Structure 1
Amino acid sequence: MSEPVTDCIRVEDAITDANLRAGEQVRWLPRRRASTLALPGNDFWLIDDRIVRWNTFSGDGEAQEPDHTEDPQAIKLCSEAFRSVWELATPHADYRIPVRRPPHLI
């Protein structure tokens, strides 16, 4: 995610404790720390290490019909990308969203 974070990310952060209680593990990776990672061109879900669901959006941010693939190369790419991001990311309990400062104080 970009920093400073958007209001949308602030909401996600605020409600993440419910995900943690349900057993999900959540980590945060500021975009500036991801510069050296080889990442797929689109957001994705890797399902059971056998299916990739590509989540694509139009230029105005509208979600498009997702694509799915079982291509082994795509699965390998996404699996390796996920591991790389996970290793660099900060666990939710340790991540602090930077405080937004009014422009006149910057």
Structure 2
Amino acid sequence: MTEVPSFQELFRSSTRSAVHLEMRDGYMTSDPSYEAWQRGLRDAIADIDPAWRPWTRLVRETVDRGVDVRRARIVSEPLSDYIRFEHHVTDGNVKAGEQVRWLPRRRATDLALPGNDFWLFDGELLLINHFDGEGEVAPTDPRELVHDPEVVKLCATAFEAVWERAVPHEDYRPA
């Protein structure tokens, strides 16, 4: 199996864009940041979990190089607790320069979507994220690189369709 570069390597090698499509209603509920949020800690995410600081630094560094960093989330409404947590912590992503939009799932019915979440770098390299049924990172082969132009095109088209319809973070009011 081919070694998958780290997120840092993928971000630092991108020159134009890094876009992310999320379609699940829950991820890694064992995450200490999420657990702290569930206990009522609503401070800045970096205060809850300092591990997030490298992520926001990486986003800022990437955006400062002129790379467009966008994330679109398809969510069920009313929101799951985990997605409420994500909404709460997204301000940090936005402050770092990431553009984030939210699409209620009921508005995505007529969109053709891939079966997995992904990151697409420079419109050419696709990183597929695999999760188990509980939203935890898949125990085997959790990340997969795809270069196939047809698959890349399908995912790029899906992302742009979601992005066009989705509500910017600053305007989205969770149901």
Counterpart of 1:88? Answer: 165
Report the residue type matching 1:95 in the other structure. Answer: Y
- Find out whether 1:35 has 2:112 as its counterpart: no
What is the aligned-residue RMSD (CA, Å)? 1.1
Query: Which aligned pairs between 1:14-93 and structure 2 lie closer than 5 A?
Result: 14-64=88-138, 65-93=142-170
Shift of 1:73: 0.5
Counterpart of 2:13? Answer: none
Shift of 1:18: 1.1
Matched pairs, number: 98
| Deviant stretches of 4+, over 6 Å | none
Q: C-alpha distance in 2, partners of 1:63/1:16?
A: 20
Q: Which has the higher strand share?
A: 2
Counterpart of 2:59? Answer: none
TM-score of the superposed pair, with normalisation by structure 1 = 0.86
Unpaired stretches in structure 1, ≥5 consecutive residues: 99-106
Q: C-alpha distance in 1, partners of 2:111/2:99?
A: 21
Shift of 1:16: 1.2
Shift of 1:11: 1.2
Q: What are the superposed Cα offsets for residues 25-77 of structure 1, whole Å, 9 maximum, x if unpaired?
A: 11000111000000111111111211111112223433222111111001101
Unpaired stretches in structure 2, ≥5 consecutive residues: 1-74
Report the residue type matching 2:172 in the other structure. Answer: Y
SS in 2 for 1:58: coil
Report the residue type matching 1:22 in the other structure. Answer: A
